[in-house]
Structure 1
Amino acid sequence: MKIFEKTVFKPFVDGYYDVEDQLPEYTRHMAEEKFRAEEARKLEAFKSKDSFLEYRRRIRRLFLEAIGGLPEEKCPLKPESTGIIEKEKYRIEKITYQSLPDFYVTTLLYVPKGFSKPMPAVLFLCGHTEEAKAASIYQRVCIDLARNGFVVLAIDPPGQGELLQYWDSKISGSRVQWGIREHSYEGLQCTLAGSNVARYFIWNGIRGVDYLCTRSEVDPDRLAATGNSGGGTQTAYMMLMEDRLKAAAPCCYITSREAYIKTGQPHDAEQNIFGAIKNGINYDDYVCLFAPKPALIGAAAYDFFCIEGTLQSFKRAKMAYRLFDKEENVALTIGEHTHGFRDPIRRAVIRWFSKHLRGEEPRFTDEPFEIEKPSSLNVTRSGQLLGDKPNAKTIFDLNNEYLKSVKPPRTRIEDEDALRLYAANLRERLDRLLAFSPERIKIMPRVIREEEVDGLTYEKIFFFSEPGITLTSIMLYRSGLKGKSPAVLMLLEDGTNGIPKEEDTIRRLAEDGYRVFVLDVRGVGGVRTRAINNRMLHAQHGTFFKLCYDSFMLGTSLLAMRVYDVTRGLDYLNSREDVDPDGIALYARRKMAICGYLASVLDERIRSMHLEDMLISYENLVATKLYNELWNEEVVIHGFLKNFDLVDLLPAMHGRDYRLVNLRDGRGRIASRRCIERYWTSIVKDHYPIIDDLTERISRKP
């Protein structure tokens, strides 16, 4: 058997440790600590009205910071009516408005007939259905509300209904896929800019309230919002951000983070708020902080939004409303069914709004609902906003505008003193972004196998990076190599499982006298994480997507954790008597190249680095509308571009050797010379002239 086949770890770290669940368990353990802190904080906050109001201000501030704030100015709505459907008891108006300049919202306005005075109005927010406002289940809710004297504005969320953000007329569909796929695809780019795609959902809703207030049929003092699933999410956010709402009913959404994190199931990007678990922003807060205004939680007993968490959130909400002597203003209705805005929840919501906004009981009849075909409810001629208005803005455009407004200006570094100050400040900011644990446990390595094969010696090693996190590794070197030798820390996408593919490189390095140390950072190679849901491991909404977003909510990232693991690998190498601490190099490829690069910037024990196929620039990734999902959440740090881009870290490598081979653009292609010039060489020339010429440092090869 060849040596490179022997270096693959067998299951359970060759029988020593069960590591397949260590990463999910690690994030859950971190989360549990935050949940207990949240409980203690809320017990104090809910002791008096004053402390509660201060708590509300804190949560609102943290939420706004996490989503990147909201636009400061409101543009003219410029509403347009494209048609009316007349019914016996109501009419449906087809309306578009602009929530931001050239950023449109497609809506249906249900206006009851036979009412002479201004009526209460409901903002209806749609869940994850392809037809959105035209979905039959949502039509029923809107029609029933209209029958009971409510004006209803049903709006399409971005990525659904007539608002596909990646619409392509050539394929008559989304280039990405409607709904959660679009939300998370553009959500990644928003995360890099330090915002959240949710800010655009929320803003569309706020402007929807603005539109309702322009209508003569609407009483602006009697406004409410409701929605189911993703619409429940939007309703919850509106409860926190829109003070004009006088009642609300989030449905099939309110649970608890502690209950939901255990399911292994993902949420798409707008439902994951950065730092939410760290800062204690929980589902119940959206209801609690609405107090004392009437709030109804709609729940399904058999939902994937855990009913146990719903009950816990309702209990907390009662505590909040008790402070205002308004316990009767918060309620929970549970339908005995699976996920969905089914009849029991629909009727409960209408009863709630009728009681609190009309002061009467609703009128439910056996009269059948006149459900329209989705196409007949199209606001646009083509069925897609971008089909009618191809130059309209999308979230992609808005995020790039946002990034321009928040990214810092670059300084110019021309001398050694300025360089030292810049590098120190840069490392401090990067360290803050990565949020490493200050405690570093002593490494107790286990060398569980050592064997000589084909002129090379290999060692199988594992150690703990931190409590609960085992790292596996392979050390390879020329048999008979004596004394202190230089070492190469190698990071591969498949970790030690990828060693056979790197045979030529490893043999060459070994023959040159290096000890080659292939390290498995968490979730990779010998410590590979098992699937925790029914999607592919690295796919959008799969296991690593879920774990990445859990880490974002914890205020960190999987990338940060892996960079930490690399520094622990350096600790191990420096502990070995046969490694020259002044001769440690780093070799990394593809996604792991970013991990290696950040570690090299932070840790000067890496004396040289060789990176292949690394992403050229996060800004390039954000500027690439159809990017390659090779660059997924595993390489993302929230708000990275609010601080710097990858090229801006290069001054910290001054005085050390480095090679960048085949930098890759957002599409995953080898970057063109023009792309390299734009994102690296011109920036270095204009802002970091103290750095050596990059001509010999950056190369392209077939």
Structure 2
Amino acid sequence: MTTAWGTMLLLLAAATPAEDLKVLPASLDGVPPPGMMRAYLLRQVREASDRRAAEFEKGKAREQIAAYQARLRQFFIDQLGGLPERTPLEPRVVGRVEGDGYTVEKVIYQSQPGHFVTAALYLPKTKPPFPGVLVPCGHSENGKAMETYQRVSILLARNGLAALCYDPIDQGERFQLLDAKGVPQARTTLGHCLIGVGSILLGRNTATYRVWDGIRSLDYLESRPEVDPKRLGCTGNSGGGTLTAYLMALDPRIQAAAPSCYLTTLRRLAETIGPQDAEQNIHGQLAFGMDHADYVLMRAPRPTLLCCATHDYFDISGVWDTFRQAKRWYGRLGFPERVDLAEAEEKHGFSPLLRTAAVRWMRRWLLHADDAIVETEAKLLTDKQLQCTPQGQVMLLEGARSVYDLNRELESRLAETRRQMWAQKGAAAMLEEVRRLTGIRRLNELPALECQKVGVVQRGGYCLEKLILRPEPGIWLPALCFLPQKSAGPATLYLHGGGKQVDAAPGGPIEKLVQSGQIVLAVDLRGLGETQGGKPTGYGRFLGPDWADVFLAYLLNRSYLAMRAEDILVASRFLAHYQSSPARPVHLVAVGGTGPVALHAAALEPEAFASVTL
């Protein structure tokens, strides 16, 4: 009999529908809830793009253009956190390989003390001096040894131009994070993103290190006696196109440039594939008005060829938009012929057509040879033949320092500075500095949120109201308000990084608070719970599922921390007055990923909370 009753109870439980604690409808102004933040940020991207377009149109006279260029270059350097001081390169040629019409020298130098760079220098077998062309690699795991970069370097050398192709961090021989056996733990773009996490917290960017490696590589290239330092160029594809764009904008030594398969517009990037890995996102550049076209405009009127592919995932219409802007500015400066575009009807990649176009461009402007060279077959070297280090990785060299080491050293210096500032200025002044840096507004500056009740769930001894809270246009915060039959005393604002429903089950932590007589408001902060975008796969496993939206906000100079902290503040104010007069005290509970946000909100507005539990 006991077994029969047990089976019946199980069947009844299975037949009882589970509580539906979802609050939001399937569509929010035509967008599903997980797409809310992307849609919200995209509206701001378009607004920022329109503002920049209006600013671009003001640049008519040479003086206006020069001022625009100087302003953007300074902004760019500032957003990188400045650039390190130049230190001795300590270069060593560690090997030499003879090729058909060229020689390859294997080189190691230091962009910063102990921060080793491995490179291959391709030298023509004709009489020097030669122009020199820097070839930053794209995101190939084997870096400089990838077929594409060997072929373009060989093509340059066979046609009278020295080419220096170097390994980026986390590629080739420069993986920055090795295990005890020397095996890389983070490769290419993932490695760049992980470096970005620490760098961003320090006011730097992965691009800081990438750009500095490129500048120091140019230093090495121009130091070679075979190279004419007044005739330098730069060309690279994909991630190498990114670095080419950055370097040509910042380093005036680059006389001719040919970035490939990267430049589009930030608007089209955001509307299509979205932000990419860390170094391709410069903090606040959209808000400030620095778009992809500006990498070309900053160097005008020096010769620049935009190489692109019809079927690239970097949107082709954006490339043509950028090209048209550049063509107009170069025309205003009197040199329309110095900017051009080569489009291959291909997918993403440094195709033979684009490689050839880049080399022809370098010959035109660095050798004054406007001819139609062609690419012929070349014997490529193996990864082992191009290896510069004894064990294949710079981090196994004596005295090697990784980017992680460099960041740790900077953090140690900053920690001491912070300690002194807190001692000298006091807590109140330092909290104002926190407010300034984060952009979290004062509670009295934030508008009251709108509230819509969309449902009720009954439970024994209390009920759950389903509420939609609207702190601003484009943002919907789903919430559950737990109301006991008899409420007494304070209320609790309950936040959970996994969503409001995690601790909302019968018998859970929230129910215990409600049974003590408290009203509890459990809220999904923007981009969490029902509105969380992305997936916990790929980069999402390490950076969070919404990493792309976070980078989009980063481009807009919007901080998820600040936006969510303001959500907490207005929700607390709402709860203090909800069904209560006078206002009740509000306790704050934050679990998991909501902890740092709650800490900022409470530190800046301590009077808003009776207590804080993290």
Same fold (TM over 0.5): yes
Distance in 2 between residues matched to 1:413 and 1:53, nearest whole Å: 41
User: Following TM superposition, by how much is the alpha carbon of 1:396 offset from its aligned partner in structure 2, in angstroms?
Assistant: 0.7
Structure 1's unaligned 5+ residue stretches are: 613-702
Q: Does 1:510 align with 2:489?
A: no
Give the alignment partner of residue 550 of structure 1, picking from 552, 565, 568.
552
Give the alignment partner of residue 495 of structure 2, picking from 479, 491, 495.
491
User: Following TM superposition, by how much is the alpha carbon of 1:578 offset from its aligned partner in structure 2, in angstroms?
Assistant: 2.8
- Residue 666 of structure 1 corresponds to which residue in structure 2? none
Distance in 2 between residues matched to 1:360 and 1:349, nearest whole Å: 13
Distance in 2 between residues matched to 1:596 and 1:49, nearest whole Å: 50
Shifted more, 460-469 versus 437-446: the winner is 437-446
Q: Does 1:228 align with 2:231?
A: no
User: Following TM superposition, by how much is the alpha carbon of 1:192 offset from its aligned partner in structure 2, in angstroms?
Assistant: 0.3
- Residue 402 of structure 1 corresponds to which residue in structure 2? 410
Distance in 1 between residues matched to 2:374 and 2:43, nearest whole Å: 51
Q: How does 1:265-304 map to 2 (within 5 A)?
A: 265-304=274-313
User: Following TM superposition, by how much is the alpha carbon of 1:406 offset from its aligned partner in structure 2, in angstroms?
Assistant: 4.3
* Structure 1 counterpart of 2:585, one-letter code: G
SS in 1 for 2:229: strand
Give the alignment partner of residue 104 of structure 1, picking from 116, 127, 132.
116
- Residue 37 of structure 1 corresponds to which residue in structure 2? 51
Contact 1:66 1:274 in 2 (8 A): yes
Distance in 1 between residues matched to 2:524 and 2:539, nearest whole Å: 17
User: Following TM superposition, by how much is the alpha carbon of 1:503 offset from its aligned partner in structure 2, in angstroms?
Assistant: 3.8
* Structure 2 counterpart of 1:528, one-letter code: T
Shifted more, 442-451 versus 574-583: the winner is 574-583
- Residue 173 of structure 2 corresponds to which residue in structure 1? 162
* Structure 1 counterpart of 2:113, one-letter code: P
Distance in 1 between residues matched to 2:29 and 2:271, nearest whole Å: 26
SS in 2 for 1:375: coil
The superposition leaves residues 605-660 of structure 1 with CA deviations (integer Å, 9 ceiling, x where unpaired) of 43333434xxxxxxxxxxxxxxxxxxxxxxxxxxxxxxxxxxxxxxxxxxxxxxxx
Contact 2:190 2:539 in 1 (8 A): no
SS in 2 for 1:304: coil
Q: How does 1:286-685 map to 2 (within 5 A)?
A: 286-362=295-371, 364=373, 367-387=376-396, 389=397, 391-407=399-415, 408-411=417-420, 422-436=426-440, 440-478=446-484, 480-482=485-487, 485-500=489-504, 503-525=507-529, 527-531=530-534, 535=537, 538-540=540-542, 544-578=546-580, 581-612=583-614
- Residue 174 of structure 1 corresponds to which residue in structure 2? 184
Shifted more, 405-414 versus 205-214: the winner is 405-414
Distance in 2 between residues matched to 1:412 and 1:321, nearest whole Å: 48
* Structure 2 counterpart of 1:163, one-letter code: R
Q: How does 1:138-153 map to 2 (within 5 A)?
A: 138-153=149-164
Distance in 1 between residues matched to 2:192 and 2:436, nearest whole Å: 28
The 1:600/1:405 distance shift into structure 2, 3 A limit, reads same
- Residue 136 of structure 1 corresponds to which residue in structure 2? 147
Distance in 2 between residues matched to 1:90 and 1:578, nearest whole Å: 82
Identity of aligned residues (%): 32
Give the alignment partner of residue 193 of structure 2, picking from 184, 190, 196.
184
Distance in 2 between residues matched to 1:136 and 1:318, nearest whole Å: 33
SS in 2 for 1:496: coil
The superposition leaves residues 519-560 of structure 1 with CA deviations (integer Å, 9 ceiling, x where unpaired) of 1111222x32343x8956943577511011111111122122
Contact 1:123 1:154 in 2 (8 A): yes
Provide the alpha-carbon RMSD of the alignment: 2.5
The 1:15/1:158 distance shift into structure 2, 3 A limit, reads closer
User: Following TM superposition, by how much is the alpha carbon of 1:313 offset from its aligned partner in structure 2, in angstroms?
Assistant: 0.5
Give the alignment partner of residue 84 of structure 1, picking from 81, 91, 96.
96
* Structure 2 counterpart of 1:473, one-letter code: A
* Structure 1 counterpart of 2:90, one-letter code: K
Distance in 2 between residues matched to 1:140 and 1:466, nearest whole Å: 53
* Structure 1 counterpart of 2:325, one-letter code: R
Distance in 2 between residues matched to 1:406 and 1:112, nearest whole Å: 47
The superposition leaves residues 564-622 of structure 1 with CA deviations (integer Å, 9 ceiling, x where unpaired) of 1111211311331337635210001121111111111122343333434xxxxxxxxxx
- Residue 207 of structure 1 corresponds to which residue in structure 2? 216
The superposition leaves residues 230-273 of structure 1 with CA deviations (integer Å, 9 ceiling, x where unpaired) of 00111111112211111111110110001000114331111110
User: Following TM superposition, by how much is the alpha carbon of 1:7 offset from its aligned partner in structure 2, in angstroms?
Assistant: 5.8
- Residue 6 of structure 1 corresponds to which residue in structure 2? 19
SS in 2 for 1:462: strand
* Structure 1 counterpart of 2:35, one-letter code: D
The superposition leaves residues 344-402 of structure 1 with CA deviations (integer Å, 9 ceiling, x where unpaired) of 10010011111111111456457421111111110112111123x15300101111223
SS in 2 for 1:293: coil
Distance in 2 between residues matched to 1:503 and 1:131, nearest whole Å: 54
User: Following TM superposition, by how much is the alpha carbon of 1:495 offset from its aligned partner in structure 2, in angstroms?
Assistant: 1.8
Give the alignment partner of residue 70 of structure 2, picking from 38, 50, 57.
57
SS in 1 for 2:268: helix
The superposition leaves residues 178-221 of structure 1 with CA deviations (integer Å, 9 ceiling, x where unpaired) of 10011000110000001111111111111111111221110111
* Structure 2 counterpart of 1:399, one-letter code: N
Give the alignment partner of residue 250 of structure 2, picking from 241, 254, 260.
241
The 1:235/1:486 distance shift into structure 2, 3 A limit, reads same
The superposition leaves residues 475-520 of structure 1 with CA deviations (integer Å, 9 ceiling, x where unpaired) of 1133x214x6310000001222213468432232122221111011
Contact 1:110 1:146 in 2 (8 A): yes
Shifted more, 124-133 versus 432-441: the winner is 432-441
SS in 2 for 1:28: helix
Shifted more, 442-451 versus 341-350: the winner is 442-451
Contact 2:23 2:478 in 1 (8 A): no
Contact 2:137 2:168 in 1 (8 A): yes
SS in 1 for 2:450: coil
User: Following TM superposition, by how much is the alpha carbon of 1:431 offset from its aligned partner in structure 2, in angstroms?
Assistant: 2.5
Distance in 2 between residues matched to 1:105 and 1:541, nearest whole Å: 27
SS in 2 for 1:334: strand
SS in 2 for 1:374: coil
- Residue 41 of structure 2 corresponds to which residue in structure 1? 27
Distance in 2 between residues matched to 1:264 and 1:363, nearest whole Å: 35
Structure 2's unaligned 5+ residue stretches are: 1-12
Distance in 2 between residues matched to 1:234 and 1:4, nearest whole Å: 56
Contact 1:493 1:589 in 2 (8 A): yes
- Residue 250 of structure 1 corresponds to which residue in structure 2? 259
SS in 1 for 2:334: coil
The 1:366/1:58 distance shift into structure 2, 3 A limit, reads closer
The 1:16/1:571 distance shift into structure 2, 3 A limit, reads farther
* Structure 2 counterpart of 1:305, one-letter code: F
SS in 1 for 2:476: strand
Contact 1:350 1:362 in 2 (8 A): no
The 1:212/1:493 distance shift into structure 2, 3 A limit, reads same
Distance in 1 between residues matched to 2:330 and 2:435, nearest whole Å: 41
Distance in 2 between residues matched to 1:577 and 1:21, nearest whole Å: 32
Q: Does 1:216 align with 2:225?
A: yes
SS in 2 for 1:488: strand
Contact 1:464 1:471 in 2 (8 A): yes
TM-score normalised to structure 1 length: 0.81
Distance in 1 between residues matched to 2:332 and 2:307, nearest whole Å: 23
Shifted more, 378-387 versus 335-344: the winner is 378-387
Contact 2:173 2:393 in 1 (8 A): yes
Distance in 1 between residues matched to 2:293 and 2:410, nearest whole Å: 30
* Structure 2 counterpart of 1:320, one-letter code: W
User: Following TM superposition, by how much is the alpha carbon of 1:169 offset from its aligned partner in structure 2, in angstroms?
Assistant: 5.4
The 1:36/1:367 distance shift into structure 2, 3 A limit, reads closer
